[in-house]
Amino acid sequence: MKIAMLSPIAWRTPPVNYGPWELVTSLLTEELVKNGIDVTLFATANSITSAKLHAVCPRGYEEDKSINPKVWECLHISECFENADKFDLIHNHFDFLPLTYSKLVKTPVVTTIHGFSSPQIIPVYKKYNKHVYYVSISHADRIPELDYIGTIYHGIDLSQYTFNPKPQGDYLLYYGRIHHDKGTREAIEIAKAVNKRLIIAGIIQDADYFNQYVKPQLKEGQIEYIGVIGPDKRNQLLGNAIVLLHPINFKEPFGLSVVESMACGTPVVAFNKGSMPELISDGENGYLVEGVEEAIERVKQIDKINRLSCRQTAETRFSKERMAAEYIEVYKKILAISP
C-alpha cells in the first residue's frame, strides 16, 4: 500500500509549537510507517519524518511571512496530484482546495475534515461528495449534506505526556488560541471568581480581542500570559494544573488540548458544545457545563474527579496507535471498493 499524505504548509510537519493539523498528520504518518506502510509525506521542506518527504515549499508560511500562502499552496497541492499515479491512495489533510484536483486523477482521495472554517466552503465538499471519501473527526462535526466513510478521533503520542496524580501547582490553565471562539475571556472570569491563579498559554490569533479582554487583566501571580509553549513546557504545565479550562464559544470539531490534558491526569471543565460530550464523560474525567456560573461551581468540585480516570481515558480512546489502526481499515475499505 502506497499512501501520499498531503499535509498543510502553514507550519512545519510536525510543528515546532502550534499547528494542530500538521501535528495530527505527523502522528498518523509516523505510525503508518511503523505499521510497514509506504508513505510519502507532502509537506514543507523543513519537516521531519521517517516517511519519504516530498517538498516544494521551504518553510511554513506562518513561520516565514515572505512565503505567499496562495502561491505555495497551489504549488504544494499540484505537486502531490501530478504524482498521483505513483500512489494507491491520497490522504488529504489540507481542507477543501485539493478536492478540486480529485477528478483530474484516477487515484482515490480520502479527506480528513479537520473542521469547517466557514459555511462558504461547504459547496466544494458537496460537489465532490460522491467522488471522494470523507472522514470526520467527531460525530458533532458532521453535516447532513455529506456522506462519510467513518469518524476517527485524533490520537496523541502518550509517551510525551506524563501522568501526574498529585499536581504541584495551585493554578488553573487555559491552553489554546487566544480568540473569542476558545473563550479566553471566560476563563479569566472563572479564575477570578474562584480566586485562583490562571496561566494562559497559546498563540494570539485575534490581537484586538487580546488587547481588549486579556491584556488589561494580566497581573503577575494572578492572571499570566506566557505565550506559545513547546512540548516540554506543555507537559509540565498540563500535569501540574488543577484543571484545564475550556470555555469554548463555538462547536469545536475536536479538542486536542482536552485529550492532552487528560493524558497528564488533569481534568477539564468545558462548555458543552461541539465534540465535547464525545471527549468528556461528565463527572468522570471532567465536567460539561452550560456557562461561566456552572463552570465556577464545577471548578470548586474538581477534586472529585479521579486523575487516573483521566489518564485511562486518553490511553484507551485517544492513542495514536488506535487512530492509525482505524485509518488503515478505512484505506483497505476504500481500495476494496475503488475501481
The tens digit of pLDDT for each residue in 151-193 reads 999 999 999 999 999 998 899 999 999 999 999 999 999 999 9
What do you get for the CA distance between the two ends of the chain, in Å? 16
3-state secondary structure of 198: strand
Report the pLDDT value the prediction gives residue 230, as an integer from 0 to 100.
Answer: 86
| CATH tag for 2-155+319-337 (out of 3.40.50.2000, 3.40.50.1970, 3.40.50.11030, 1.10.150.20) | 3.40.50.2000
CA 121 to chain centre: 19
Would the pLDDT of 34 be above 90?
yes
pTM of the complete model: 0.93
Fold (CATH) for 158-317: Rossmann fold (3.40.50)
Q: What percent of the chain has pLDDT over 90?
A: 96
| pLDDT score for 244 | 98
Range of lowest pLDDT (37-51, 91-105, 209-223, 229-243): 229-243
Per-residue confidence at 17, pLDDT binned at 50, 70, 90?
confident
| Among candidate residues 189, 199, 210, 198, the one with its CA nearest the CA of residue 295 | 189
CA separation for the pair 194, 61 (Å, rounded): 40
- Check if the beta carbon of residue 133 is closer than 8 Å to that of residue 332: no
Q: How confident is the model at residue 84 (pLDDT cuts 50, 70, 90)?
A: very high
Summarize pLDDT for 273-285 with one digit per residue, the tens: 999 999 999 999 9
Grid coordinates standing for 66? Answer: 515572505
For the stretch 303-329, pLDDT in tens is 999 999 999 999 999 999 999 999 999
- 259 — pLDDT class (breaks 50, 70, 90): very high
Contact 33, 51 (CB under 8 A): yes
Can you give the pLDDT at residue 4? Answer: 98
- C-beta of residue 52 within 8 angstroms of C-beta of residue 41: yes
Amino acid residing at 159:
S
What is the DSSP annotation of 103-148? GG-SS-EEEEE---S-GGGHHHHHHTTTTSEEEESSGGG--TTS--
Amino acid at 219: K
Residues of the chain within CATH 3.40.50.2000 domain(s) are 2-155+319-337, 158-317
Label residue 176 left, alpha or beta by phi (over 0 means left) and psi (-120 to 50 means alpha): left
Neighbours of 151 (CB within 10 A): 16
Residue 283 CB-density burial (10 A; 0-12 exposed, 13-18 middle, 19+ buried): middle
Predicted pLDDT of residue 117: 84
With H, G, I as helix, E, B as strand and everything else as coil, classify residue 223: strand
Q: How far apart are CA 214 and CA 223, in angstroms?
A: 9
With vertex at residue 195, the alpha carbon angle to CA 242 and CA 301, rounded to the nearest 5 degrees, is: 45
- Residue 90's closest CA among 252, 139, 78? 78
- For the purposes of burial, counting CB atoms within 10 Å of the CB of 226, is it exposed (0-12), middle (13-18) or buried (19 or more)? exposed
Strands 171-175 and 150-151, by their bridges, are unpaired
